Structure 1
Amino acid sequence: MQKTLLVTSIAESTGKTAVTLALGQLAQERGRAVGYMKPKGTRLQSNVGKTLDQDPLLARELLDLDSEVHQMEPIVYSPTFIDGAIRGQEDPDELGAVVEERFAELAAGTDLMLVEGGGAWSTGGIVNLTDVDIAERLDADVLLVADYETASDLDDVLAAADSFGDRLDGILFNAVPDAAFDGLEQEVVPFLEGRGLPVFGVVPRERDLAGVTVTDLADELGGELLTEGDREAYVERFLVGAMGGDTALRYFRRTKNAAVITGGDRSEIIAAALEAPGVNAIILTGGHRPPGALLGEAESKGVPVLLVTGDTLSVIDRAETIVNTGRARDEATITRMGELLYDHADIDAILGDGSAKEASDGGGGTDSDSTAGDDTDDGSTAED
């Protein structure tokens, strides 16, 4: 019996790609014939729609598929595409028919079709192709991938679950920080399952799969390292230094594993960044070299300072692309995610043919009789 599983997410960069491809490999190990599709390409190189999306190429390689990229990713969801849709240049019914046609081509001869959502679950609404719409068109069951830090994150989970309705097979929490892990398992999972929403797993955060190192950033941005510092420190998010020094310091102190991006002539911002313990690197734009005293302070504190060309906004775009695409898109990362899913998720429930209600009756990914092995302290935050 063929199963179609749509892997969707609450937001971008929740590890959706790594989860999807790891599930494909795990299914193949069980003798399943697996296909892959990503109907909407959202990783773009330019507004006119040239795609940067490596997900279909990686899927073709890792799952040993002979599908063509235009089949696996029929719609490039670019700003130009969206503008055209608003002007009536795109027909939602025709686009939906194309997705269905490509899906039928790819699904032939498979018993498990993995369909990866693009961006967040609501992406595509402008042409009636949200992941809810795609699940209906392709008659797909749905796995919802979500991150979690505080209880307020459940509002988004519940809204998405309500939109998918009976098509929702279950929820997988990924990249859960240590501080939130126990509360999620002990309180939130029972709460959700009490509302009829199965939780198939809680995958903890793993630093080696989170963000990129300062060395990675320097190599990809083509910048000059002005100080040594800890080049192997991880950067997971970026802060823009565009305010006064005192305000910047309060802002910078509220985060961790961050890089501050600011103009090299903004000495007060650089000084504030050096006072914040969660700032692992400073990226200076515009080619401006800061005063030697600031570089000396950065050197003494072990904070790498990277000098790059280009304006702040363009550097932010480039840096975020590196973080969001680099760590989750190689064979080692997918293999590691497969191990984490085996340890922390109910693979039988995710890959099986049972409905969400049947899965709920059988329990979530933390039950002792699931395929998952013993929990460890490892985890993942591989980005989409």
Structure 2
Amino acid sequence: MHTNTLLVASIQESTGKTAVTLALGRLAQERGLDVGYMKPKGTRLQSNVGKTLDEDPMLARELLDLDCEMHQMEPIVYSPTFVDGAIRGQEDPEELGALIEEYFEQLAANCGLMLVEGGGSWTTGGIVDLTDVDIASRLDADVLLVADYENPGDLDDVVAAAEAFGDRLVGVLFNGVNDAAFDDLEQQGVPFLEGRGIPVLGVVPRERDLAGVTVEDLAAELGADVAVDGDSGAYVERFLVGAMGGDAALRYFRRTKNAAVITGGDRAEIITAALEAPGVNAIILTGGHRPSPAVLGKAEQKGVPVLLVTGDTLSVVDRAETVVNTGRARDEETITRMSELLYDHADVDALLGPEESGADAADAAEDSADPEDTGDSDSPTDADEA
């Protein structure tokens, strides 16, 4: 069987790369393709029964209904321990590359399309000669580059990555683009890139449901003690640290939306200011201090959740931002919505091949089952040409 391989890389972490990859897998399955998945470098790590695993391959195995082992899907656990060892010369880049190729061949054996998810960013893996550029070369993969966009300066990184991937680059997909930047990108950025010979395959608008986490999910991930329930279904996309006086804090908080304020539980003036700002959807209190009943009563009245979290403010900010940045591709509902967005806003045919009509698909199936067919078994079908 001829296998097409598409590596989905990203400019930086938290561009929605996993959601895009799995959504493409779903769309390919709907077109009748047998789909495989691999993430050679496991970078989104969690501790799981003493082993460090990346959650993305686990989600792929579940949502794409794949019959394969985790060690095949994720040959390298790109953990801090691994990085330290690699820098000390304890890892052999050639052996690691050969291992990736070996497992790739096993996973691709019966697939029409292999989806390979890149590392956190396309440069991840450079210390062992396994950037996404290196992996695309080893696996003979086409490349889709996922990027975000806020201003024209973001195109610097896109151009640099496109040049690094060279002829393997199928195109760029901009994901999660804000309304404020959308027209500028379509009218200025896209023509500029295409004038440089860099195809743009889609501009996907930002959707709130894919851009943050609910207060309820945030509380669960942080292991927070919920002092005030409030609107636990509200979304949090960003965090503000309350470290100034009350009046300055209020002016600061009022300039944002869908935010959570993180401050010490003993900073009553900051908490009060946060409760006055309409864009603050939650307050996270650190340091083990519980505010006065009067302050909690005001939060209850305003319907703003208050979470109590152990640890100092900076460590809680790091933990909370990790939750938001990695919380977008965690369930089937997210992948279904991303599939719809790609169908509406991206050139899916350029990535997966044109959709076949029912008659064409039936003819293709009949041809492939014909024992008298003497054609080259490695020749691509219509669905393989992308």
TM over 0.5: yes
Match of residue 9 from structure 2:
8
Residues 287-333 of structure 1 show CA distances to partners (whole Å, capped at 9, x for unaligned) of: 21123444344344443221123343443344334333444121111
Give the % identical residues.
Answer: 81
Question: Which residue is equivalent to 1:363?
Answer: none
Q: Is the 8 A contact 1:238 1:260 kept in 2?
A: yes
Q: Which residue of structure 1 lines up, in the alignment, with residue 380 of structure 2?
A: none
Is contact 2:242–2:249 with CA below 8 Å preserved after alignment?
yes
Aligned with 1:18: secondary structure? helix
**TM-aligned CA deviation for residue 251 of structure 1:** 5.4
Alpha-carbon deviation of 1:46?
5.6
Query: 1:160-175 maps to which residues of 2 (within 5 A)?
Result: 160-175=161-176
What is the aligned-residue RMSD (CA, Å)?
2.5
> Is 2:14 aligned against 1:22?
no
Deviations 1:218-257 (A, max 9, x none): 2333323333433221012233345666765565455432
Contact kept, 8 Å, 1:74 with 1:102, in 2: the verdict is yes
Decide whether the 8 Å contact of 2:93 with 2:129 is kept in 1: yes
Give, in whole Å, the separation in 2 of the partners of 1:275 and 1:89. 55
Task: Please give the secondary structure, in 2, of the residue aligned with 1:123.
Answer: coil
Match of 1:147 in 2: 148
- Map of 2:232 onto structure 1: 231
Counterpart Cα distance in 2 of 1:282 and 1:294: 12
Amino acid at match of 1:199: V
Partners of 2:171 and 2:319 lie apart in 1 by 34
Letter in 2 for 1:87: R
Shift of the 192–283 alpha-carbon distance from structure 1 to 2, 3 Å rule, reads: same
Instruction: Pick closer, same or farther for the CA change 1:267–1:127 going to 2, 3 Å.
Output: farther
Instruction: Please give the alpha-carbon distance, in whole angstroms, between the structure 2 residues aligned to 1:243 and 1:139.
Output: 54
- Alignment correspondent of 1:71: 72
Output the TM-score relative to the length of structure 1.
0.84
Partners of 1:88 and 1:94 lie apart in 2 by: 13
Name the SS of the counterpart of 1:129 in structure 2: coil
Which residue number in structure 2 is paired with residue 372 of structure 1?
none
Is the contact between residue 44 and residue 50 of structure 1 (CA under 8 Å) also seen in structure 2? no
Q: Which runs of 5+ in 1 are unaligned?
A: 354-384
* Structure 1 residues 195-234: aligned runs within 5 Å: 195-234=196-235
Question: Partners of 2:158 and 2:82 in 1: how far apart?
Answer: 28
The AA in structure 2 aligned to 1:73 is E
- For 1:279, give the aligned amino acid: V
Equivalent residue number for residue 95 of structure 1: 96
Q: TM-score, normalised by structure 2?
A: 0.84
Q: Does the Cα contact within 8 Å between 1:41 and 1:51 map onto a contact in 2?
A: no
* Paired position in structure 2 for 1:176: 177
Greater Rg, structure 1 or structure 2? 2
| Separation of aligned partners in 1, 2:253 and 2:141 | 43
Aligned length: 353
Code of the residue aligned with 1:112 in structure 2: it is L
2:368 corresponding residue in structure 1: none
What aligned pairs does 1:259-298 form with structure 2 within 5 A after superposition? Answer: 259-298=260-299
- After TM superposition, give the deviation of residue 131 of structure 1 in Å: 0.8
Superposition pairs of residues 77-88 of structure 1, within 5 angstroms = 77-88=78-89
Q: CA deviation at 1:130?
A: 1.0
Shift of residue 123, structure 1, vs aligned partner: 1.0
Q: Could you tell me how far apart the structure 1 residues matched to 2:37 and 2:251 are? A: 45
2:304 corresponds in structure 1 to 303
Deviates more, 1:286-295 or 1:151-160: 286-295
Name structure 2 gaps, 5 residues minimum: 355-386
